[in-house]
Structure 1
Amino acid sequence: MTDSNQISVDPNTRGNANLIYILYLVAIVVGITSIVGLVMAYLAKGQGDALLENHYNNQINIFWKGLLYSVVSVILIPILGLGILTGLAALVWYIVRCVKGMQALSAGQPVENPGSWLF
């Protein structure tokens, strides 16, 4: 007998992909959860259908591009506080990409252009 209230972490389910988006959003406060989500996305990549593959690719891109944007922002802080503005822009980009991914996943659709550097 299985408990229908259990959270599924099977890489072949949308629940796993949604959990990764949630971990990414929680990382805004906690930080380390994005690394957990990245590892989960890499482990699940290649095990799901085309829709899930699209979302796992999107999640991997979100992590690495978000990290790059953050590092550039930290480097730019001494230049008239430009890093603060770019950091805020990177945060908005990160949130928008995660939310758009979650919306597409819940609608059963792939993310449009998961490799995009913009929104």
Structure 2
Amino acid sequence: MTETPTKFTDDTATRVKIVWGLYILSVVVGITSIVGVVLAYIWRGDDPTNPLSTHYRKQIRTFWIALGLAILGLILVIVGVGILILLAVGVYFAVMSIIGLMKALDGKPWP
């Protein structure tokens, strides 16, 4: 009797889902994305051979891109175009988080 190997460990899958969940929650609450990125930094080195570890890199990258663009948007609020940038950053962050969570739920690594 052979057992079918799992694509990833339950521990890594749960952790990846937690971070994506915190990111999605941050669209409403705000501060949870900081907790999420800290957890992604802490957990990313636990099992680098795990296929789901690619999510950590994407989570960290998504956070920093969104933060940088949000700062740019805040600066450009004076000119008036900053509001559009801030809205676009919110949409980008939400969409990337939802796509990431969907991939994690399916057990797929981030390409």
TM-score normalised per structure 1: 0.78
CA-atom RMSD in angstroms: 1.7
1:11–1:47: 8 Å Cα contact kept in structure 2? no
The residue that corresponds to 2:27 in the other structure is 28
Deviation of the 1:12 alpha carbon = 3.8
In structure 2, stretches of 5+ residues that fail to align are 1-8
- Provide the aligned length of Structure 1 versus Structure 2: 102
The residue that corresponds to 2:63 in the other structure is 63
Deviation of the 1:31 alpha carbon = 1.8
In structure 1, stretches of 5+ residues that fail to align are 1-9, 113-119
Structure with higher helix content:
2
The residue that corresponds to 1:116 in the other structure is none
1:12–1:52: 8 Å Cα contact kept in structure 2? no
Moved over 3 A (4+): none
Confirm or deny that 1:52 pairs with 2:52: yes
Deviation of the 1:55 alpha carbon = 0.4
The residue that corresponds to 2:109 in the other structure is 110
SS of residue in 2 equivalent to 1:13: helix
**% identical equivalent positions:** 36
